[in-house]
């Protein structure tokens, strides 16, 4: 269980050069006080939010990928997009195992928000989409960490590895976008989200708990590597082809 004295790192804003500080704190899930039934309800709600959030991210990254001109950035955003597709599929499967279905209205709304953001990427310049993506990814880490804690309390240890893998992948996404933002002069003028703690801290609260290996990590990594290397060949041969 996470230490209740630990700060809610991803919602505390660092002091920016403008002196802006937003201290709006999201509460940590106090899982010590949760019954398995309540934890199950919170797990389902978190997964439904994540499922629709992933669709928003997929649509936004499609537009973001098309808006950048640097081949390395394009490739990395494509990889992130693929990882979000795998996340959404797995979250949908977990919901189905729990006897639940995603929220159709929520899915539709997030899909449209993502499409709109993706379209705006081509109009808003390089920095804004990188900044927005980094901010959102920092929140995605916490979403999957929370889901893992709820799953543990609710007795679904079989989902732990996949939920923690998704939190780790979101950690990598946040790092990529934060480092991109840091390379731009506008970064110094924008409020900063707090840098997540080390990647290892994601699994640290679960050390000592025996949970089975998940399905996501090996299949996702193997299949995405094949897709990305195939696309890389496409980029070298015909950069202006289908993959834009």
Say how many residues touch Fe ion, by CB under 5 A.
Answer: 5
Q: How far is the CB of 96 from Fe ion (least distance, A)?
A: 18
Which one of the spans 38-46, 91-99, 132-140, 176-184 is the region binding Fe ion (CB under 5 A)?
132-140
> Which residue in this structure is represented by tokens 């928003």?
56
Q: Does 161 bind Fe ion (CB under 5 A)?
A: no
Candidate list 47, 59, 64, 84; residue touching Fe ion; CB under 5 A: 84
Interaxial angle between packed helices 216-237 and 160-182, expressed in degrees from 0 to 180 and rounded to the nearest 10: 40
Q: How far is the CB of 92 from Fe ion (least distance, A)?
A: 12
Specify whether the CB–CB gap between 58 and 85 falls below 8 A.
Answer: yes
Q: What is the token pair recorded at 93?
A: 């499967």
Q: Does 48 bind Fe ion (CB under 5 A)?
A: no
Q: Does 170 bind Fe ion (CB under 5 A)?
A: yes
Please state, in angstroms and rounded to a whole number, the distance separating the CA atoms of residues 174 and 102: 25
Nearer CB in complex with Fe ion: 84/161: 84
Q: How far is the CB of 185 from Fe ion (least distance, A)?
A: 25
Which one of the spans 111-119, 134-142, 216-224, 227-235 is the region binding Fe ion (CB under 5 A)?
134-142
Residue 13 bridge partners (DSSP): 193
Please state, in angstroms and rounded to a whole number, the distance separating the CA atoms of residues 58 and 239: 22
- Per-state percent for the chain, helix, strand, coil, to nearest 5: 70, 0, 30
Q: Is the dihedral of CA 189, 14, 128, 197 positive or negative?
A: positive
Closest CA to 93 of 214, 226, 225: 214
Candidate list 173, 178, 180, 192; residue touching Fe ion; CB under 5 A: 173
Candidate list 2, 48, 74, 87; residue touching Fe ion; CB under 5 A: 87
Please state, in angstroms and rounded to a whole number, the distance separating the CA atoms of residues 104 and 64: 25
Which one of the spans 71-79, 96-104, 136-144, 223-231 is the region binding Fe ion (CB under 5 A)?
136-144
Which one of the spans 64-72, 76-84, 118-126, 176-184 is the region binding Fe ion (CB under 5 A)?
76-84
Residues that bind Fe ion (CB under 5 A): 84, 87, 137, 170, 173
């Amino acid at each position: 269980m996470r230490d209740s004295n630990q700060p809610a790192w991803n919602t505390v804003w660092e002091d920016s050069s403008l002196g802006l500080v937003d201290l709006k704190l999201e509460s940590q899930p106090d899982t010590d006080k949760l019954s398995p039934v309540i934890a199950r309800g919170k797990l389902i709600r978190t997964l439904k939010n994540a499922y629709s959030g992933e669709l928003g991210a997929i649509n936004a990254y499609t537009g973001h990928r098309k808006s950048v001109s640097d081949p390395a950035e394009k490739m990395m955003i494509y990889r992130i997009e693929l990882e979000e597709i795998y996340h959404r599929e797995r979250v949908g499967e977990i919901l189905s195992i729990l006897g639940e279905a995603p929220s159709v209205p929520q899915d539709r709304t997030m899909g449209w928000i993502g499409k709109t953001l993706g379209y705006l990427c081509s109009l808003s310049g390089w920095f804004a989409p990188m900044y927005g993506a980094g901010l959102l990814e920092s929140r995605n880490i916490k979403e999957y960490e929370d889901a893992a804690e709820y799953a543990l309390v609710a007795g679904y240890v079989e989902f732990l590895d996949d939920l923690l893998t998704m939190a780790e992948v979101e950690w990598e996404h946040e790092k990529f976008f934060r480092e991109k933002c840091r390379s731009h002069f506008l970064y110094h003028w924008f409020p900063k989200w707090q840098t997540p703690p080390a990647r290892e801290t994601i699994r640290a609260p679960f050390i000592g708990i025996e949970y089975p290996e998940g399905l996501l990590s090996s299949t996702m990594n193997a299949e995405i590597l094949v897709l990305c290397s195939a696309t890389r060949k496409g980029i070298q041969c015909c950069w202006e082809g289908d993959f834009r």
